[in-house]
């Protein structure tokens, strides 16, 4: 049997334009554009969106108005709708979002309203799916809502620990939605995870510490600042091409 030529796509999350460029130059297939990755990723500024729109690969903006839980108020929703419009006006290709109710299930009505604003753009349901009571039920809801993909670690701290759930999600999706594995993926484990689970896309930070920058405790994250490494992206792509 001939070997498949399909290469699993790689998305890189970044929070600077320099990081986005490094991702593109390293061979990433798509960028997830954020601010404050140290907080799990928040909505990027309009200026960063516009600059990232100059890249030659697709760029999806994170739509998350604040850190913390994904229980959003009507005021939060209004902000998210405005940010979706800003991403569309900037020329970005898609958005990444999620919301849940107080019982921790997906907030389907709110997500439906947000997705209506994304018409003409791609959409990813983020890792809110990893903190719901039933990820497979949430996957069904994401399909019904019309999301293009879900980003998930298989409801585990890292994707390699969630391999069984990832496999179940791929089977449940049955080609109706893309299952993108993320969290803790490196060039050393990504190929094995793809083979074991059948996930259709992968997601990573590929970030390294900035070693030549002094750390000022009042202005830098604990442990210092990190940035996307072109070399690490290249290694991830190489592993996926094996």
pLDDT digits (tens, 9 = 90+) for 194-206: 999 999 999 999 9
Is residue 4 included in any domain, yes or no? no
Please check the confidence at residue 1 and state whether its pLDDT lies above 50.
no
pLDDT digits over 182-193, tens only? 999 999 999 999
Is residue 41 included in any domain, yes or no? yes
- What pLDDT score does 226 carry? 82
Please check the confidence at residue 49 and state whether its pLDDT lies above 80.
yes
Full residue range of the structural domain in which residue 54 is found:
10-120+185-240
Please check the confidence at residue 3 and state whether its pLDDT lies above 50.
no
> Span 146-158, mean pLDDT?
98
pLDDT digits over 88-109, tens only? 999 999 999 999 999 999 999 9
> Span 29-52, mean pLDDT?
97
Is residue 136 included in any domain, yes or no? no
pLDDT digits over 109-128, tens only? 999 999 999 999 999 999 99
- What pLDDT score does 220 carry? 59
Is residue 88 included in any domain, yes or no? yes
- What pLDDT score does 209 carry? 74
Is residue 174 included in any domain, yes or no? no
Total domains, the chain: 1
Here the CATH number for the domain that contains residue 215 is 3.20.20.380
- What pLDDT score does 2 carry? 38
- What pLDDT score does 218 carry? 58
Distance CA 152, CA 180 (A): 6
pLDDT digits over 205-239, tens only? 999 876 655 555 555 555 567 889 999 999 999 99
Please check the confidence at residue 137 and state whether its pLDDT lies above 50.
yes
Is residue 167 included in any domain, yes or no? no
Q: Please tell me which residue, 220 or 76, carries the higher pLDDT value.
A: 76
Is residue 159 included in any domain, yes or no? no
- What pLDDT score does 112 carry? 99
Is residue 97 included in any domain, yes or no? yes
């Amino acid at each position: 049997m001939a070997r498949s030529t399909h290469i699993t796509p790689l998305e890189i999350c970044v929070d600077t334009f320099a990081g986005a460029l490094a991702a593109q130059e390293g061979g990433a297939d798509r960028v997830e554009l954020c601010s404050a990755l140290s907080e799990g990723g928040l909505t990027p500024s309009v200026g960063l969106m516009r600059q990232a729109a100059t890249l030659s690969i697709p760029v999806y903006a994170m739509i998350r108005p604040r850190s913390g839980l994904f229980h959003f108020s009507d005021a939060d929703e209004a902000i998210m709708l405005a940010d979706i419009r800003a991403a569309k006006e900037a020329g970005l290709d898609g958005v990444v979002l999620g919301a849940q109710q107080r019982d921790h299930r997906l907030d389907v009505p709110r997500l439906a309203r947000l997705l209506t604003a994304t018409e003409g753009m791609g959409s990813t349901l983020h890792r809110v799916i990893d903190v719901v009571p039933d990820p497979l039920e949430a996957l069904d809801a994401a399909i019904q809502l019309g999301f293009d993909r879900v980003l998930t670690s298989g409801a585990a701290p890292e994707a390699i620990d969630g391999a069984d759930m990832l496999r179940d999600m791929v089977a449940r999706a049955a080609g109706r939605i893309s299952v993108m594995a993320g969290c803790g993926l490196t060039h050393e484990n990504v190929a094995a995870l793809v083979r074991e689970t059948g996930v259709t896309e992968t997601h990573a930070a590929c970030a390294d510490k900035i070693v030549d920058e002094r750390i000022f405790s009042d202005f830098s994250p604990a442990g210092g600042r990190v940035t996307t490494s072109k070399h690490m992206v290249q290694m991830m792509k190489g592993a996926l091409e094996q």
